[in-house]
Chains A and B, each alone.
Chain A
Amino acid sequence: MIINAISKKKYPWLISLLATLGIIVLALATFLVYSRTSNNLFPDSLAGLAYGTAGLIFLVLATAGYTFSRRSRKRTVGALNASLHWHISFGIIALFLIFLHSFGHFEPVSGTYALFGLVALVISGVIGRMLDRLVPKLIAREVNIALTEQGDDRLESVTQTLQDITTYHKEQLHSFKSQPDLMVAEKDMQTAAAHLVSQDGTALPTSWDLAYISLAETPQEIERDAEHYRFVPDRKSPLSKPSALVPGLQEHMAELQTVQQALQRERFYRAIIRYWRVFHVCLTLLTIGLTLWHLEFAATLMFPTYFH
């Protein structure tokens, strides 16, 4: 089944995982044998130096292997993925071997700092891989909110709808104002009053004119059946809400806000992926520095004549 899975490339990490487990088990077995047969359980013992050297080799392989593979011109499809799995694998093996190299001595010296740096580096890598699995799914969820069912920009679609609503109501309001043009109506009334005449052609006295009240509808009056007829709402009425006279506005504004929040979250998730990688690279540089410092310290202990 395992061979079948490897050959179908369903689990590309399987080979590197098996290799990691194999090397760890081998290192652990030699460590147990050595600790039972020898009393010299220190980092500068023969086994300690061997573990340290092996750990350093794996650390170099983990760092340089993936870096060179990414910059290589000769690549095949899937080669970088395999290289990434080996990068993780070598990192974990290096951490394990360096732990064995310490033999449980964690005094505040350069080696301990280098080990802590390596621990932080491997943990950041593991968290980074977990983020790589999780964050793109969250981004996809936010993008799904930001796009319509047809795959168009929802922000643009909602903005367009809002614009249509505003234009429609603006037009309605404009027609409401222009229909009973008060100024014109007032003028007409004055003209009509000035030219009022009796049935036989003689002008009527002013007082009589003023007493005349027509039952016909004046232009100032609003028809009850007119489209723009509005009740004046009281305080408790739902009509007193700001958007009550513009239906659909509130819902669209809420949708707009939801899309904007989704876009902000998308940006934040992308920043997490980007800056976690930067953090991992910074930790790598720090660990390399601490390791070089420790190697220099170890060299002064091992070859005192060269360094004095």
Chain B
Amino acid sequence: MFKLLKPNPVILHKTKPQVEQEIQACIGCNECLLACPALAEPITIDVLNRETINGPISAPVERFTQACYQCGACVSPCPVGLHRDAMMMWLKVRLLKDPNGT
């Protein structure tokens, strides 16, 4: 609980080059998806990574993106210290710009 009270001094969103860098660094261990309370259906990490950067967004990934509420539960289990929440935010922005996700 005390972890929740710790102030977060930085803005959590990342730019596209930063997101691309993080996706390249992802080792595909699936820990972030296992820790996610918003993910209801099975999505593989490589599909999520691929669709985060560019290309069309599939219906399950779109549903997951809409359901993600930026709780940050995915950040601490990552063994390489990546920010899946920031990547999900980038996907949210992509969907905002293009609701069809094409």
A residues sitting closer than 8 Å to B (CB atoms) are: 9-10, 12, 70, 75-78, 80-84, 132-133, 135-137, 139-141, 143-144, 146-147, 150-153, 263, 266-267, 270, 273-274, 277-278, 281
Q: Are B1 and A78 in contact (CB under 8 A)?
A: no
What are 14 A-B pairs with beta-carbon distances under 8 A? A70-B73, A75-B34, A78-B40, A81-B38, A132-B69, A133-B69, A139-B70, A143-B13, A143-B89, A143-B92, A147-B13, A151-B16, A151-B17, A274-B4
For residue B43, which residues in chain A have a CB less than 8 angstroms away from its CB? 77
Min CB distance, A276 to chain B, in Å? 10
The CA of A102 and the CA of B5, in the complex, are separated in Å by: 36
For residue B75, which residues in chain A have a CB less than 8 angstroms away from its CB? none
Chain B interface, >50% SS class: loop
The interface size bin for chain B is 35 or more
Chain A interface, >50% SS class: helix
Given the known interface contacts A136-B70, A267-B11, A278-B4, the answer about A77 and B97 at a Cβ–Cβ threshold of 8 Å is: no
For residue A274, which residues in chain B have a CB less than 8 angstroms away from its CB? 4, 8
The CA of A82 and the CA of B67, in the complex, are separated in Å by: 13
The CA of A10 and the CA of B63, in the complex, are separated in Å by: 8
Q: Please give me the residue from chain A that is nearest to B91 by CB atom.
A: A140
Q: Please give me the residue from chain A that is nearest to B41 by CB atom.
A: A9
Q: Are B15 and A281 in contact (CB under 8 A)?
A: no
11-52 of chain B: CB within 8 A of chain A: 11-13, 15-17, 19, 30, 33-43
Q: Are B15 and A80 in contact (CB under 8 A)?
A: no
